[in-house]
Amino acid sequence: MRYSTNINTSERYEIPSDLDDSVRIRDFLHKNRGKRVIVVQGLGFVGAVMALVCANAFTEEYAVIGVDLADEHSFWKIRSLNDGLFPLVADDPNIPLFFEKSIEKGNFIATYDTAAYKHADIVIVDINLDVQKTSTQDGSLVDYDVDLGGFKKAIRTIGQNCKDEVLILIETTVPPGTTEFVARPILEEELNLRELSIKRYKLGHSYERVMPGPDYISSIREFPRVYSGVNEGSADAVQEFLETIIDISQCDLTRLEHTNATEMCKVLENSYRAMNISFAIEWSRFAEEAGVNLYAMVDAIRVRKTHANLMYPGIGVGGYCLTKDPLLASWAMKAHFKSDSNLNMSVNSVSMNDQMPRFAFERLEESFGSTQGLSIALLGVSYRGNVGDTRFSPVETVARLMQSKGAKLVFHDPYVRYWHEMDVHVEKDLDTVLNADIDIILIATGHREYTQDDVVAKLFKLKPCIIYDTIGLLTDAQISLLREKHEIGVLGRGDL
């Protein structure tokens, strides 16, 4: 018997061995007859919310079926959705609102049965595509590879089931060239095997710019979009679909010449961000060694429009995208375009960013001594402020380094109850964490809660300890106050 655990509720579901869900699908389609059917493949941070957006499209009523795998990582999402509990916790009030509406309308179910693809007018591919990194102990990148096995299998499943008149829209961030050189041949091979026409299907690529957090839904519906198709008919079909779910009165849809271009556009966009962060990291080291405050410099420089994207240094980069997208691009240059050159700068930025958590930890020990046996409170475990998303969080590296030194850790995060990568409980109540016998408080995530003066007042009241702000969240005034009693370290700041 296999089980899948709901990471939000800890409820354990038995995974069925019989994957036939056709009765429920038939019932659903019967209730929703007359509507075009959208199947969303992958119910993760993008797919689940994309499905909600489709179930609440602006100009058309769709019947939406979310499909994911009946395995330990994903089955609970299917169950949770069908039980009326959205599988993501985020502080966007539109998420429960949209979910409730879809339940009322009865136009959204989830299933593990691949037969769902047979009924799709539109398939949206929102599965993960990971990069396998090999790194040294300090985090610097030695090698990386992309395994397209899972992606190919997912596309083949679609090709084995879909109608010949279907729009397949890939939203997954893929190595540039993947839609044309990988997905297209598989789809055509499978259509040919079933003796169906390969003239009628449409295939396109469009990437979301979803931002988990308070604007989760609107970051899909009210955000400019880039899209393309493998041919003009496909691009037209993608456009026609996007116009039903995006608020085009506010947001431009930009058609690029080819799927190669939109795929590259996505990884370029994220590589730009990754590089901006690594640039801040590089200069934060210089600022520390010269004993000057980098945050003040960045503030002074950002007044220029041409320099407004200059970023602050921090504990490192996390999340699903910036930690890998430059590698997808560089990998594709060789694998899909047989290039001799590569994207050295962009790849190095990943390596640089990956080293930052260890660097943050080492700076802490250099400045304040060994963490051996100390009690440490980590404020924030998410990789990003105001969001509960621990995927590839740099806090994990710092926490593991501290544990390896025998430090005793407690974790606080307003948005995370259970940190599954670390398999630990996370406190919601700040007092519970701060009341403990704490030697070091490490501010690790830029949650808005930690910037409030009453939190600083709480920190002030504690017995003297070390407060290490890894992301420059505290203001100069707050630092001055805390310094009266505590030792203060701020990463990238001369006064560490």
Q: Which residues bind its own copies (CB under 8 A)?
A: 176-177, 209, 224, 226, 252, 254, 256-258, 260-261, 264-265, 268-269, 271-273, 275, 278-279, 282-283, 285-287, 289-293, 296-297, 299-301, 303-310, 329, 333, 336-337, 339, 341, 343-346, 348-349, 352, 494
One-letter amino acid of 390: T
Q: How far is the CB of 337 from its own copies (least distance, A)?
A: 5
Closer Cβ to its own copies, 14 or 362, answer by number: 362
One-letter amino acid of 92: D
Q: How far is the CB of 429 from its own copies (least distance, A)?
A: 33
CB 170 within 8 A of CB 189: no
* Bridge partners, 124 (sequence order): 40, 169
Closer Cβ to its own copies, 342 or 432, answer by number: 342
Q: How far is the CB of 179 from its own copies (least distance, A)?
A: 12
Q: Are strands 131-135 and 141-146 parallel, antiparallel or unpaired?
A: antiparallel
Closer Cβ to its own copies, 53 or 256, answer by number: 256
Q: How far is the CB of 346 from its own copies (least distance, A)?
A: 6
Q: How far is the CB of 395 from its own copies (least distance, A)?
A: 22
Closer Cβ to its own copies, 24 or 285, answer by number: 285
Closer Cβ to its own copies, 283 or 368, answer by number: 283
Query: What residues contact residue 337 under an 8 Å CB cut-off, 6+ apart?
Result: 176, 177
Q: How far is the CB of 175 from its own copies (least distance, A)?
A: 11
CB 55 within 8 A of CB 138: no
Closer Cβ to its own copies, 228 or 390, answer by number: 228
Closer Cβ to its own copies, 89 or 251, answer by number: 251
Q: Give the span between the Cα atoms of 139 and 155, in whole angstroms.
A: 33
Q: How far is the CB of 452 from its own copies (least distance, A)?
A: 25
Q: Token pair for residue 151?
A: 């992606």
Q: Token pair for residue 36?
A: 């075009």
Q: How far is the CB of 144 from its own copies (least distance, A)?
A: 16
Q: How far is the CB of 300 from its own copies (least distance, A)?
A: 5
Q: How far is the CB of 294 from its own copies (least distance, A)?
A: 8
CB 162 within 8 A of CB 201: yes
Q: How far is the CB of 290 from its own copies (least distance, A)?
A: 5
Q: How far is the CB of 268 from its own copies (least distance, A)?
A: 6
Closer Cβ to its own copies, 118 or 285, answer by number: 285
Closer Cβ to its own copies, 399 or 488, answer by number: 488
Closer Cβ to its own copies, 10 or 306, answer by number: 306
Closer Cβ to its own copies, 199 or 304, answer by number: 304
* Bridge partners, 408 (sequence order): 375
Q: How many CA atoms lie within 13 Å of 320's alpha carbon, on the beta-carbon side?
A: 16
Closer Cβ to its own copies, 265 or 424, answer by number: 265
Among 121, 181, 130, 119, CA closest to 155:
181
